[in-house]
Amino acid sequence: MAVTVRQMSLIVATLGAISFFFGIIAENKKPAAGTPITGKGVVICKYPSDPTVVLGYLSFGFLVASGVAGFLSLFYPYKGKSVPQSTMFRSTSFLVFFNIALFTAGLAAALLLWPTITEHFHLNRKVHHNLETDCPTAKTGLLGGGAFISLDSTLFWLVSLMLADNAREDYFDEVEKDYKGEHELVVTDDYHVPAHLKGAA
């Protein structure tokens, strides 16, 4: 079954929306801090049940999937017809949105992955020799910001796909015109009768 532009756009949008959804929930579920319990020369941090790490990794994973699907959708040979990549990048609009999509995807990945790894580190390292520790968690706001930028990245991939589809149609229109022009030229040359032969006839 051939994949259409609409189907690819739905895949990209769905993956991006899921990434956004998990990122927002991860931000909302993240505790502000843990509870310090003082022992003999150490502080043990007790954290509430925290799904932030799992949700953060899921958000990051779906962001990567959305970015890969978005990138592949731009150059996929729809209806078995491939287009040279140079044709796409001739369009200034496509080039701008393509680079913005890449940049926002990278920024979203950093904002999602950094606090997730930090939170994972805090949850695994609960024993502290610094008696003044306040049992911190990952910085608040990064996961939420990453989720919104992830959604923005998805939108930029969709705009790039729309511009790529327009460039693809223009390319095939030019190819068809060139083919018709060459075909008409061949037909005219094949059936052209010189004037002196017309007189002889």
Could you read off the pLDDT of 65-121 as tens digits, one per residue?
A: 999 999 999 988 887 777 877 778 888 899 999 999 999 999 999 999 999 999 888
Q: Does residue 200 sit within a domain?
A: no
pLDDT tier at 192, thresholds 50, 70, 90: low
Type of residue at 136: P
Task: Return the residue matching tokens 């095939």.
Answer: 172
Task: Return the residue matching tokens 């200034």.
Answer: 92
Q: Does residue 69 sit within a domain?
A: yes
Residue 81's contacts (CB-CB under 8 Å, 6 or more residues apart) are 168, 172
183 or 117, which is more confident?
117
Q: Does residue 194 sit within a domain?
A: no
Lowest mean pLDDT among 35-39, 137-141, 145-149, 177-181: 177-181
182 or 25, which is more confident?
25
Q: Does residue 197 sit within a domain?
A: no
Range of the domain at 96: 5-31+52-124+138-188
Contact 178, 170 (CB under 8 A): no
Which pLDDT belongs to residue 176?
64
Report the chain's terminal Cα–Cα distance, integer Å.
58
Average pLDDT of span 48-59: 90
Contact 108, 181 (CB under 8 A): no
Q: Is the confidence at residue 179, as pLDDT, over 70?
A: no
Measured between alpha carbons, how far is 141 from 145 in angstroms, rounded to an integer? 6
Q: Does residue 195 sit within a domain?
A: no
Which pLDDT belongs to residue 167?
83
**Domains identified in the chain, total number:** 1
Q: Does residue 151 sit within a domain?
A: yes
Type of residue at 156: F
Q: Does residue 143 sit within a domain?
A: yes
Question: Model-level pTM greater than 0.85?
Answer: no
Which pLDDT belongs to residue 195?
57
3-state secondary structure of 47: coil
Could you read off the pLDDT of 124-170 as tens digits, one per residue?
A: 888 877 777 788 888 889 999 999 999 999 999 999 999 988 888 87
Q: Does residue 160 sit within a domain?
A: yes
Which pLDDT belongs to residue 87?
79
Residue 38's contacts (CB-CB under 8 Å, 6 or more residues apart) are 44, 131
